[in-house]
Amino acid sequence: MKYRQLGRSALKVSELCLGTMNFGPQTPEPESFAILDAAIEAGINFIDTANQYGGRLGVGATESLLGRWLAQDRGRRDRIVLATKVHEPMSDDVNDRGLSARHIQMACDASLRRLGVDHIDLYQMHHIDRSAPIEEIWQAIDRLIAQGKITYVGSSNFPGWAIAQANEKAIARQRLGLVAEQSLYNLIERRAEMEVLPACRAYGLGVITWSPLAGGLLAGRAAGPGGRRGSEDAVRAAAARAGQLGRFGALCDGLGQSPSAVALAWLLRQPGITATIIGPRSLDQLASVLHVPDLALDDETLARIEEIFPACGPAPEAYAW
């Protein structure tokens, strides 16, 4: 496994980040534990979750599952960089959501209880809250840091302007500010290149990419029954991009690699990317991508990929002229 610094912080995280959204609702607890064990054994030290994850089992279920895994061996906590999130609704209560100072404090305390830990390494705002003044957000974050409950702060799904606003306010308060942004970014969805990635580079945020395989479109396997790739929307999306995906599959065949591995390796070659989230549902899926950090893509291959999946271009040039 290879490691990179998380943005301008001194914290080092593995290039593959283990996403846990499937743990519990899609992957039963015993197999989730086995995936976690195998990931740690392979050198992955970065685990990402969110307080809302749990699906049909209910919000908080995935954090609770992780808490039970951590409780099996207390030494595990010190070996991992633990990330979770706040913002999404946790109940029908009108205040049990968003980024009010009250909810941030309460949600953090609840995550700590479910996870069974005394601090969270990277606490991420899951989405912007247009009703919450940034001064109120930083007040709550400062309190959590002072209490020793969180160490670093990140954003997720933030537009470029919100990243700039948040960090300018942090600079004015003489604080470190955001050190990471978790963003939707893959070969098919490249709009983050217009403003989000440049903002992250300008302010020293490490980028953690989610949905690196575009909901399975870049996985290179035919959609089967059940799961997101078997849905009507996924089938339509695959049909609409059949030519593009076919060309990509042929390129990957020529490299002797799976489309999944090449799509992940491409992300790790992009400027400013710290890690990409993998969300395996099984041990086999995990094993199939563990070699990605060592997978080198030469300039010719990168150029061919760009031909298949053209970039959006930078803002404002991409839309202004």
The answer to whether 279 and 210 have CB atoms below 8 angstroms apart is no
| Beta carbons of 125 and 156 less than 8 angstroms apart | yes
Judging by DSSP bridges, how do beta strands 81-86 and 150-156 pair with one another?
unpaired
* 53 is known as an active-site residue: yes
Could you give the CA distance from residue 38 to residue 35 in angstroms, rounded to a whole number?
5
**From 3, 53, 123, 152, the catalytic residue:** 53
For residue 259, the number of C-alpha atoms closer than 13 Å in the C-beta half-sphere is 22
> Is the four-CA dihedral 296, 300, 301, 307 of positive or negative sign?
positive
* Cα-trace Rg, the chain: 19
Q: What angle do CA 57, 112, 45 make, to 5 degrees?
A: 90
Q: Which residue has the tokens 């968003």?
A: 98
- Assign residue 147 a region: left if phi > 0, alpha if psi is -120 to 50, beta otherwise? alpha
Residue type, 17: C
User: What is the largest distance, in Å, between two alpha-carbon atoms of the chain?
Assistant: 58
Contact between 182 and 157 under an 8 Å Cβ cutoff? The reply is: yes
Q: How far is CA 153 from CA 121, 130, 134, 140, 213, in A?
A: 8, 18, 14, 11, 26
Q: Which residues pair with residue 122 across a beta bridge?
A: 83, 152
Residues annotated as catalytic (active site), given as ranges: 53
